[in-house]
Chains A and B, each alone.
Chain A
């Protein structure tokens, strides 16, 4: 057990030696930001609008540096603490860990990060999939320390040696260790997800309908804790012959996403995703077809952030229900 007071001390302890990211209210909105004053950290059931994504998958990062035709490894990321992740966001961390299983940049960053989760369940109107916290979900989540909220204190779990070490160093001995057994429950892909996968291509009209209202701003992809697609490009340095090869977030809604080199037709470069319906279908297809096929997990944790930020009111929950209805009779 950890009391509220002791928890505050723990946050202060972490902040003393580390970069700590935690939910804080800035301009009225709860966001994941760097902690300058531990008193501002807010532990609640509300999902921060911005997730942890920018910390583990930076908007832009160097893959390597180069100078005079020599290649040098990119500089190692610093260790940092990501505090207060809800189960919903821990699911997204776990998802990304599968996607980037063989990516040394992500793995290095995750290994050096201390992930601290908590059990308060988001109850916003846009959320779906998860109803209430159950302890048996923990063995399927990537975390170092997890705080399960009781009435006025917390049960403490560890999910890694790093988690145990930091608690030991802090002087908190009362915790239970949970061994990570992988991201998927024995039953495999969730049954509702299987249904969505099975019916995905039945009603093509949904994409035509969504294509009429989507303005392709890409906000949903930026805010989504599971969206990770990227471009790779070179960024030359001022010094001749030097620079870095980088990767950076992109969005499948941007028209250059599928562009290829070639003769322009009506002043447009050739591309393979040619219309809004094709591009919005591509987004859903990634989350509910490709991800389940590849790693038996959907590319969606049901956080509802995309619905919240969509300027034209596209609601992912409604769309999944429509896909589940299947073929229009």
Chain B
């Protein structure tokens, strides 16, 4: 019987500072076989950890077609991530997964895909974006709405130039410097009445407070609940729907999510 708690080992091969408290780790499985077998759907996550310091859930933010290495963006917000931020390249991490349901291609095939990311919600969007840039995402078009606190917290800044050649990236900042020329306020300011959302599927990822307001904006513009997807965060330990920490109503975020359609979970108390 396969032991789902035994992790694979992966080596950090690159660390790049993103913001004052987010680092981008590029990892490679130590074992050749693990490298060859690794594949995931956009929106899936891994349980990544460090021996002596435990595990936590991280969404994969690199390409789903080039999986020889993979990226995790880690915010320094807890005990484990504090320790991860002290690591240097060649350090070894533990990896289990990928787990759960991401956003399968069938849901947005030949449709427009609107990615709405708030704060660190942009992290998982990068895997969709990279594959769209490579011509490997079956969406007709991609648009990204990104709400962030201020300029110094913008993620993947050095990639925007390339991104903008292929798709729209709308950014608003909540507390920008005076010099900021773009939009200001919460993420919903990026919605206006000129936008055409027919034939659009949306994925929303961000802090819990954001979901309700973005869903309302999308519904106003005619999106059906089946075409609005959210990715949820919860405390997780097992990753396989046993330990109960991530349960919402009848579902497990780790196993049935983390990506759910709004139609699937809108009636569940406490889901968002």
Contact = CB atoms under 8 A, between A and B. Distances in A.
Interface in A171-216: 201, 204
Nearest to B8: A71
A231 B243 contact: yes
Given A234-B51, A263-B77, A289-B250, A102 B1 contact: yes
A308 B77 CA distance: 41
Interface in A249-271: 252, 257-263, 270-271
Nearest to B7: A71
Contacts of A263: 77
A229 B9 contact: no
Interface stretch (B168-176, B210-218, B233-241): B233-241
B20 interface: no
A66 B5 CA distance: 13
Contacts of A107: 1
Given A69-B9, A258-B235, A261-B78, A232 B243 contact: yes
B51 to A, nearest CB: 5
B249 interface: yes
Given A234-B53, A261-B77, A289 B237 contact: no
Nearest to B248: A272
B234 A258 contact: yes
Sort chain A's interface into a size bin.
Answer: 35 or more
Contact of B243 (A66, A230, A270, A272): A230
B270 interface: yes
Sort chain B's interface into a size bin.
Answer: 35 or more
B114 interface: no
Contacts of A99: 242
A282 B6 contact: no
B195 interface: no
Contacts, number: 106
A122 B12 CA distance: 57
Interface in B244-272: 244-245, 247-250, 269-270
Interface in B1-48: 1-7, 9
Contacts of B227: none
Contacts of A233: 54
B71 interface: no
A46 interface: no
Interface string B182-220: 000000000000000000000000001000000000000
Contacts of B62: none
A322 interface: no
A272 B234 contact: yes
Interface in B49-70: 49, 51-56
Contacts of B241: 294
B101 interface: no
A236 B78 contact: no
A278 interface: yes
A53 interface: no
Given A230-B237, A247-B237, 11 more contacts: A69-B51, A103-B242, A229-B244, A231-B243, A231-B245, A234-B52, A236-B52, A247-B5, A271-B235, A286-B244, A289-B249
Interface of A: 63-64, 66, 69, 71, 73, 99-100, 102-105, 107, 201, 204, 228-234, 236, 241, 243, 245, 247, 252, 257-263, 270-273, 278, 281-282, 285-286, 289-290, 293-294
Interface of B: 1-7, 9, 49, 51-56, 77-78, 81, 92, 208, 233-235, 237-238, 240-245, 247-250, 269-270
25 contacts: A63-B5, A69-B51, A71-B7, A73-B6, A102-B1, A107-B1, A204-B269, A228-B242, A230-B237, A231-B243, A231-B245, A232-B237, A232-B243, A234-B49, A245-B51, A247-B237, A247-B243, A260-B234, A262-B78, A263-B77, A272-B234, A278-B270, A282-B247, A285-B249, A290-B250
The 6 nearest A-B residue pairs measured at CB: A261-B78, A229-B244, A63-B5, A232-B237, A261-B77, A104-B1
